Amino acid sequence: KSGVSGGRSRKTAGQKSKGRRQGHGSRSGKAGSRLGRKESWIARIRAQREFLKGLRERKTISDADYKTLYRKSGGGFFRSVRHMKLFIGEHRMVKK
């Protein structure tokens, strides 16, 4: 009498714990279900607000510029912190 062996499942579980089996071919489900859209938004907005806070504390940007950048980031204008840095440089918001 033979049952169902758990050896293979243990092997794949071990591989998954190492971060294997996560390539494009192994995925079923949209990108939003793997890393939630809201979670990614929260991570992005927190990083942007932290960056802005640092600039304001170091007096790198004016309070008016801080306010406009904060509002833009909240509205989803910036894709990332890098995009924000690019915008600040292009619009000459850095104080000397």
pLDDT tens for each residue of 30-49: 989 999 999 999 999 999 99
Structure tokens at 50: 């932290």
Residue-level pLDDT at 2: 87
Section 81-86 average pLDDT: 98
Residue-level pLDDT at 52: 98
Domains and CATH numbers, the chain: 35-96 (1.10.1200.60)
CA distance 84 to 72: 10
pLDDT at 95 over 90: no
Task: For Cα atoms 33, 34, 35, give the angle at the middle one, nearest 5 degrees.
Answer: 95
CA distance 85 to 56: 14
Q: How far is CA 5 from CA 50, 52, 54, in A?
A: 50, 55, 55
pLDDT tens for each residue of 38-83: 999 999 999 999 999 999 999 999 999 999 999 999 999 999 999 9
- Please say whether the beta carbons of 91 and 85 come within 8 A: no
Q: Which of 71, 72, 66, 63 is nearest to 51 (CA)?
A: 66
